[in-house]
Structure 1
Amino acid sequence: MRILLTTLNSSYVHTSLALQSLKEAYANHQASVKADLIVREFTINEYLPSIADRIFFLEAEIIMFSCYIWNMKEIAWLGNRLKQMLPNCKIFLGGPEVGYTAPNALKKYPWADAIFCGEGENLLPKWIDHLLEGRFLNHQSILYREAQVLEAGPRVEYLSDLKDLPFPYSAEDLKSKKDRILYYESSRGCPYSCQYCLSSVDQPLRFLPLERVFTELNLFLQAEVKQVKFVDRTFNANRQRARQIWQFLLANDNHKTNFHFELAADLLQEEDIELLKSVPKGLFQFEIGVQSTNPKVLSTIQRVTDFQRISKMVRKLKDLGTIHLHLDLIAGLPYEDWNSLAKSFDDVHNLGADMLQLGFLKVLPGTLMEQNAEEYGLIYDPLPPYEVISTSVLSAQELLRVHHIETVFQRYGNSGRYENFLQAYLQFNPSAFQFYRELSEFFRVKGWLYQPAKERLHWQRLFDFVKAKNFDQDKQLWFLNKLKLDFCLKYPDQDLPFKQMQDQFSSELRGQLKKIWTEKKVHQDFGLAEEEKYKYRFVFFDFSQEDLAQEYSSNQARVEKSIWLFVYDYPYGHNLLSYGSIDKKLFD
């Protein structure tokens, strides 16, 4: 008997921890007769008829889909199509998108034959054993359509001890998937009870034995996996245990593998900061869910946090300069109106993390948020991903504008390409939310919000936004020179995308600049070894390097044409090596 375990990941770089864990659980299962269990992973970006075609020719008698919020729409299409193509094939569903509302899922998807609920590593091997004996396993965590009892949901059974869980990756998996994101769990469950999250629904917090975690992390390190993402919902719920894992990774760093953790920043202590001071750049990245800074909102959704302490710890982490920081906010939470959301955004933006993700509330089936949706005045899409459309305090139009803000913020604020410009601009616009609101409205009016564009056009559009503002000439030049600097730092080998600021060098000046370079008058000043191969560009700026580095003041800013030199490696990638304005004495 052939059984197919399959799912659709959000993109190719991601992998399915659930399928890997189930596959290895069955591989380790001892039985006299075993089924042919195969795993196939696809992505939601693939052509669905093509996926159906490939599944059809696998000739599986049973197809089992792992269902999540991001792939349920595609699985619904595939399940219906495959049932028509393979009427005798049994199709089973599992995963958080169906497991918490199994009776409704069976009604909603008439092509599905059963729903598996909860954790399947122990359940799946037993179920297959019964299947090979010609009968279905009668179990409290499985709801069969043939039972015709679709009103009461099954009782979900959770593993009381994680020590018997298999390591989810074979040696071949580690080898073939080393350049993708591999997911790992050292714990299951969550200590919190946030109303919007399924992780808090009847899932006790359990941990893998620490020595086993060390052994398995060593397998990732030996395989030189590119990135390992811990899926522990709150990695540092047990502070001492988190420190021990960090200490192990520090002691065994292979300088190639990156580890991602989801943390509660307000649980961090000074002892953690001291330990993390020794973390080399690129080893760790932290994701910290703030969601809102409004105490009433946090109390309503049952998320108990201390934003003042979060701020303190995030700033300490940022000061280390070695750990990538990713902070999360959620728009559309109950009682978070426009002004409250703006404040939450500004509060978190001001912490200066590497990335701020502005997400939108998903009213997931089976959560307390779904139960209380009417009380909170939540209007949301009944189809996955169940995104909020409006609330009692945030209109549909306001939420649309927040989507617009998120679009331009993702393009500019999170890109890391416009740091000098944004820092300068926000000197005069203390509300980042208001700035991105103005930028998004400018884009909306121009028709640019969702219009695909090449990278160079993004720079030109930001240039156009500044030109359209009613600034005095010197301040406008200041902002545009900051933008010009950002482009030259990111793309030292490319011509400027702003036609209005492209440089016009006279033939005489070009000759002088070439002489300065060939006679190596600037090599020592710029810390360059004379024997190395470089390429260079000279660029006009309206300010000297010293003046542009200072904060803008209308009384102090000096508009003075200055020539800057940008040196990059060649032919090894055109990465910037050094830059700065040229001393006028070199022209003598």
Structure 2
Amino acid sequence: MNGVEYSGGNKKLKIALCAVNTRYSQSAAALDYLSGYLYKYLDFKNISRGLYELKTFEFNLGDTHEFVTRTLCSHGADIYCFSIYIWNRDFIKKVISFIRSAFPEALTLAGGPEAISVCRGDVEAMCGAEYAISGEGEISFARFVELAVDAVRTGGERWTMDAERLMHIDGIAHSPAGGGFRYSSEPAVVGDLDSLPSIFVKEGGPDARGGRNFVYLETSRGCPNHCHYCLSSLKPKSGPAVRYFSLERVFADIDRIMNDLKIDKVRVIDRTFNDDPERALAIFRYIASRARPDTLFQFEISPYKFTGPIVDFLKNLDRRCFQFEIGVQSFNRKALDSVGRVNSEPKAAETAVEEPAGGAGTGRAGDMLDILINETKVNIHADLMYGLPGDNYDDCVNSFDTLLKKMPDSVQFWQLKLLRGTRLRENASKMGLVYDPNPPYAVIKTPSISVLEMFRLQKLGRYLDIIYNHGHLKLSVRALFNLSARPSEFFFQLIEFFERNGIAETAISRQNLFSYVRRFAEEKVRPASEAKYSVLLDCLRFDFIAGESKRFSLPDFLKPEKMRRDQGLFGYIQDSVLRPDSAVKLSRAFSLFRFDNDIVEAASGTELFADGSGFGLNAAEPSRRGAYMAVRHVANADGTFGSRRYWFNDPGDFLALDYFYCADKNGRFPPAEGDFDGACYRAFLEGFPARVEKYIGYGIVVSQNKSRQERAND
């Protein structure tokens, strides 16, 4: 044989397949695909499983280098294989260096997105490993292991890999310790995706690795676009750019997920799911007909490839079972052209939205976002990039404001990364792009954006996460945006407030976040309008209540300054419950809250105020009519906690509140008919206001704190 000698230590080849995730909750689907195809391939080749042993390892970046190396090396593997991404590159590079120093006879093999550029002669992409596979690794990894098993079988304790046979493997690269570098010029590609075993059919069962509340699902590989910053722009020279699993295979995987796994989210990792709109609609329909109410399917979607039938289907969908990740990147056409998104928008006749006359407005991407956000129940997560070659600082801020005004569920404001193997990285020097050489390779400055401007955009993205994306301040953010001419103006004012007061932008607790925003509003909003400040406090109260599941108390800084006694029902309840000598106690399953302003419609996601008044800089003073809320705290069947909120505006018009009783001081409950003054009140589940003649008890605590359970339907 023509090769390098290794000391295997035994005649059974031991393989360690390793992933390092960002956190424990993350999962590495690559391990499932690689191991699944390996078993299928070697079984087909009649290679006994007694000749090799495969073990998978998953770590996260919270694990120490010592723990990872100790765990891996204790296994005593002959081949150590690593899936490498920008977030774990430096970590894994240290691990590989340790293994090659401690056990020079062991083989190390690198793969994953960070290894893609080895097919272009980038030896640094191997992270110090002796071997690497560029591209889709299932078939190439199986052939690599086949050669190793054959070498062990014929060579015994001292075996060698045949270097010449090795270089016939698609996507392979070899950088031996003695020097030299050989590589395949094409990344590996799997042509028939249905040949890959389903990762949801495993020997250990469908949840063999367990512990996660989500799974990854693939329905295709490849991408039709040619974005210069994206690894998906690297196309195979032969064969289609996009390959599909058959619909039968996709539907079977969806059935297995729905029937066998109890998970909250399915992350569909296709690069452009709706590239084939008819196929996408068929899968949407199949999911909607089978998905459980608590399962969300997440897709990466092109805003330019929505057809009328897809839009009509989404508009008529009566529940939230989809989340769309939509890459807008910029609203500046020049910037999109500069990075190869020239053909993102197909002919208008092919889409559900017409091109605005003269190119006005935000184009089809913006118009499609408006439809999805305002007319469907789809969760919308939109992406923007700053640092694109065709954008200057003002362009980036304008795109930020344009997108935030649409109020999608979340917005990621990303700094452009120059990934290994991409065209943008190769042309960075020519284009005047300066980037950090360390992962994640963020652009530091461009010809039109200075370093200081890049820092300012970084802060905008960080505070966007804190205030907007975390979802703690959904109603309050709407009000705060309306108080500024542009969303970015509010954010820059908030950034200045945080920095001036020495508030760190990291590790902010939820309660402290509400406290800081209230202090900001007191400084910025209250001097201009006491009434609008009052409304903003009510928005903060609502957001705080909405984010709590177990029973809680409002923090002092969010409590109304005066807890007034109102006439009618609410006043009676407050007097009865809060009076020190009262025998009537509110069940601990309930909390009662008062709001100074009528924010019922705003909390429902419609107008900011029920009376139609606005909250902008030039709007009239808002209504001061109050609103009230009862919250019932519930324990769910799965052991988690939740709550149900019940609004009412006019206490005197209601006979009672939903879900609980109030009794008089003697614990008397009212008859089916008669005078309800000073007695028990109840509003039934739907259709209030109305006089109720049937009563259901829910454990109200009466005199001497004894629990009383009324019989149902008395």
CA contact (8 A) 2:78 2:107 kept: yes
Q: Distance in 2 between matches of 1:404 and 1:44?
A: 24
Q: Distance in 1 between matches of 2:326 and 2:195?
A: 30
Unmatched runs of 5 consecutive residues or more in structure 1: 521-530
Q: CA distance change for structure 1 residues 124 and 214 in 2, over 3 Å: closer, same or farther?
A: same
The correspondence for 2:39, drawn from 27, 30, 51, is 27
1:274 lines up with 2:312 in the alignment: yes
SS in 1 for 2:16: strand
SS in 1 for 2:304: helix
Q: Distance in 1 between matches of 2:642 and 2:115?
A: 49
1:156 lines up with 2:214 in the alignment: no
SS in 1 for 2:206: helix
Q: CA distance change for structure 1 residues 130 and 485 in 2, over 3 Å: closer, same or farther?
A: closer
CA contact (8 A) 1:178 1:225 kept: no
CA contact (8 A) 1:567 1:576 kept: yes
Unmatched runs of 5 consecutive residues or more in structure 2: 1-12, 152-160, 346-361, 578-585, 602-607, 655-676, 679-714
CA contact (8 A) 1:21 1:169 kept: no
Q: Distance in 2 between matches of 1:144 and 1:555?
A: 69
**How far 1:564 sits from its partner (Å)?**
3.1
Q: CA distance change for structure 1 residues 539 and 251 in 2, over 3 Å: closer, same or farther?
A: closer
1:83-137: CA deviation from partner (whole Å, max 9, x where unpaired): 2332322111111202213676545767411111222222222222211222342
**How far 1:2 sits from its partner (Å)?**
0.5
CA contact (8 A) 1:14 1:182 kept: no
1:487 lines up with 2:551 in the alignment: no
* AA partner of residue 545 (structure 2): C
1:337 lines up with 2:392 in the alignment: yes
2:484 is matched with: 429
Bigger shift: 371-380 or 381-390? Answer: 371-380
Q: Distance in 2 between matches of 1:489 and 1:88?
A: 59
Matches within 5 A, 1:396-545: 396-469=451-524, 470-491=527-548, 493-497=551-555, 499=557, 501-505=559-563, 515-516=572-573, 534-539=589-594, 541=596
1:220 lines up with 2:268 in the alignment: no
CA contact (8 A) 1:503 1:539 kept: no
2:339 is matched with: 301
The correspondence for 2:235, drawn from 202, 215, 230, is 202
1:280-339: CA deviation from partner (whole Å, max 9, x where unpaired): 534211111000010000001011334522222222222344221111111111121111
CA contact (8 A) 1:64 1:92 kept: yes
**How far 1:513 sits from its partner (Å)?**
5.4
Q: CA distance change for structure 1 residues 511 and 255 in 2, over 3 Å: closer, same or farther?
A: closer
Matches within 5 A, 1:247-258: 247-258=285-296
2:687 is matched with: none
Matched positions, count? 577
1:283 lines up with 2:321 in the alignment: yes
CA contact (8 A) 1:52 1:81 kept: yes
2:167 is matched with: 138
Q: Distance in 2 between matches of 1:315 and 1:175?
A: 38
Q: CA distance change for structure 1 residues 430 and 225 in 2, over 3 Å: closer, same or farther?
A: farther
Q: Distance in 2 between matches of 1:480 and 1:310?
A: 35
Q: Distance in 2 between matches of 1:214 and 1:574?
A: 33
**How far 1:562 sits from its partner (Å)?**
4.5
* AA partner of residue 257 (structure 2): F
Per the normalisation by structure 1, the TM-score is: 0.89
1:8 is matched with: 20
Matches within 5 A, 1:105-144: 106-107=123-124, 111-134=128-151, 135-136=161-162, 137-139=166-168, 140-144=170-174
Bigger shift: 558-567 or 36-45? Answer: 558-567
CA contact (8 A) 1:331 1:360 kept: yes
1:528 is matched with: none
1:557 is matched with: 621
**How far 1:232 sits from its partner (Å)?**
0.9
Identity %: 25
* AA partner of residue 40 (structure 2): N
Q: CA distance change for structure 1 residues 545 and 323 in 2, over 3 Å: closer, same or farther?
A: closer
SS in 2 for 1:357: strand
Q: CA distance change for structure 1 residues 498 and 408 in 2, over 3 Å: closer, same or farther?
A: farther
2:651 is matched with: 583
**How far 1:418 sits from its partner (Å)?**
1.9
1:524 is matched with: none
**How far 1:277 sits from its partner (Å)?**
3.4
Q: Distance in 2 between matches of 1:557 and 1:584?
A: 26
SS in 2 for 1:51: helix
Bigger shift: 534-543 or 240-249? Answer: 534-543
1:12-51: CA deviation from partner (whole Å, max 9, x where unpaired): 2222122211100011122333421111111122222111
Q: CA distance change for structure 1 residues 560 and 197 in 2, over 3 Å: closer, same or farther?
A: closer
Q: CA distance change for structure 1 residues 394 and 151 in 2, over 3 Å: closer, same or farther?
A: farther
CA contact (8 A) 2:269 2:299 kept: yes
Higher relative contact order (CA 8 A, sep 6+): 1
SS in 1 for 2:75: coil
CA contact (8 A) 2:120 2:421 kept: no
2:225 is matched with: 192
SS in 2 for 1:8: strand
Q: CA distance change for structure 1 residues 279 and 39 in 2, over 3 Å: closer, same or farther?
A: farther
1:254-277: CA deviation from partner (whole Å, max 9, x where unpaired): 434322111112110111012223
**How far 1:456 sits from its partner (Å)?**
0.3
1:384 is matched with: 439
**How far 1:504 sits from its partner (Å)?**
4.9
Q: Distance in 2 between matches of 1:126 and 1:400?
A: 47
SS in 2 for 1:426: helix
1:175 lines up with 2:207 in the alignment: yes
* AA partner of residue 287 (structure 2): L
**How far 1:558 sits from its partner (Å)?**
6.1
Q: CA distance change for structure 1 residues 542 and 118 in 2, over 3 Å: closer, same or farther?
A: closer
**How far 1:538 sits from its partner (Å)?**
3.6
The correspondence for 1:313, drawn from 368, 378, 383, is 368
**How far 1:4 sits from its partner (Å)?**
0.8
1:45 is matched with: 62
Q: Distance in 1 between matches of 2:312 and 2:185?
A: 47
Per the normalisation by structure 2, the TM-score is: 0.74
* AA partner of residue 553 (structure 2): D
1:336-395: CA deviation from partner (whole Å, max 9, x where unpaired): 111101111122222221111111111011111112212332111101110111111111
CA RMSD of aligned residues (A): 3.1
Bigger shift: 27-36 or 17-26? Answer: 27-36
* AA partner of residue 32 (structure 2): Q
Bigger shift: 235-244 or 133-142? Answer: 133-142
Q: Distance in 1 between matches of 2:275 and 2:600?
A: 47
Q: Write 1 or 2 for the structure with the bigger share of helix.
A: 1
Larger radius of gyration: 2
Q: Distance in 2 between matches of 1:158 and 1:215?
A: 24
Q: CA distance change for structure 1 residues 431 and 401 in 2, over 3 Å: closer, same or farther?
A: same
Q: CA distance change for structure 1 residues 231 and 571 in 2, over 3 Å: closer, same or farther?
A: closer
2:632 is matched with: 568
